[in-house]
Amino acid sequence: MLTGLGSWLPTKVLDNHEIAARLDTSDEWIRTRTGIRERRVAGPGESTVDLAVAAGREALGGGSADAVVLATATPDQPCPASAPQVAARLGLGTAAAFDVNAVCSGFVYALATAAGFIAGGLAERVLVVGADTFTTLVDPNDRTTVPIFGDGAGAVLLRAGDADEPGAFGPFDLHSEGEHAELLWVEAGGARKRLSDTPADRFLAMQGTAVFRHACARMAESSRTVLERAGWMVGDVDRFVGHQANIRILQATAKQLGMPADAVVANIDRVGNTSAASIPLALADARADGTLAPGHRVLLSAFGAGLTWGSTVLRWPDLGQL
């Protein structure tokens, strides 16, 4: 059951005009193609763990957790995982802690993992954090990726409960398609190619048109599957919270599902694509501005590098004065 919610953004704001001043692009070009007008960028010495700790602390609300699942593609070090450091800094003692890397789908994958932990009796309360400093993977001179990505973290606290309670996540639908990994990847830095003399190999490479096509099709397909499993009709959904990759992807997916435009939750204009952090950040913003209200039926769906994608649903709970 969802019982806590937190978010955190770096203080540095990078708007479209700053990007246009040094790259061959414009504010209009960025806004019309992505829906983004500004994004947050981690400052010097500010890491994924730092952001995750801040969001996690807010979600915990002074409470505790038996386990931490950190969804991230940008850990502080290649080894070890960053989640144990998050748990330690949050004072969670010897709580189980590990990373999940499904990139932009990571938060949905982490939710499913946490739900399994609770269902299996391994934990009563699990902190799920989506955090990325994705700007560290972006070539600062690439006009196609610099405008898209931002940094941030969002977190939820899950507790054991009944499947029919408000705040219960599930069912889930998760998939991957590894034969298309090269559509969105960083080639160097892993075991296959640790080092590279080619600078581009160290940064994110994206085949945008193909990614757009796959994202719309897979998110719509997965959403239909999870709605069917939940026994919901598309018309039952009050809010659609998709991965905030591109406003046109969100709109196109909603259109494929036959969902009204006002059901789409979007904060991408203010934060950009924050990878695994995007859905919890969108949830936090929507709760804060009243877009999400207790009782709303909510559909979550994400698509990311891998390729990976997944969806789940919940009835929004009354979180009180968090």
CA 305/CA 137 separation, integer angstroms: 13
Tell me how long the chain is.
322
φ and ψ of 110, to 5 deg: -65, -35
**Run of H or E residues at 108:** helix 106-119
Task: Scan for tokens 């939820």, then name that residue.
Answer: 156
Contact 186, 205 (CB under 8 A): yes
CA 137/CA 104 separation, integer angstroms: 13
CA 8/CA 24 separation, integer angstroms: 31
Contact 130, 153 (CB under 8 A): yes
Among candidate residues 172, 179, 171, 50, the one with its CA nearest the CA of residue 105: 172
Contact 75, 98 (CB under 8 A): no
- Would you call 243 a catalytic residue per the annotation? yes
Q: Is the peptide bond before 80 cis (omega within 30 degrees of 0)?
A: yes
CA angle 92, 98, 104 (to 5 degrees): 120
Check 214, 216, 243, 267 and give the catalytic one. 243
Return the C-alpha torsion angle 78, 84, 86, 88, nearest 10. -140
- Would you call 296 a catalytic residue per the annotation? no
Distances (CA, A) of 184 to 209, 277, 303: 11, 18, 11
- Would you call 180 a catalytic residue per the annotation? no
Check 101, 104, 246, 267 and give the catalytic one. 104
Q: Which residues contact 258 (CB under 8 A, 6 or more apart)?
A: 234
Among candidate residues 18, 21, 15, 22, the one with its CA nearest the CA of residue 36: 15
Bridge partner residues of 15 (DSSP): 38
Active site residues: 104, 243, 273
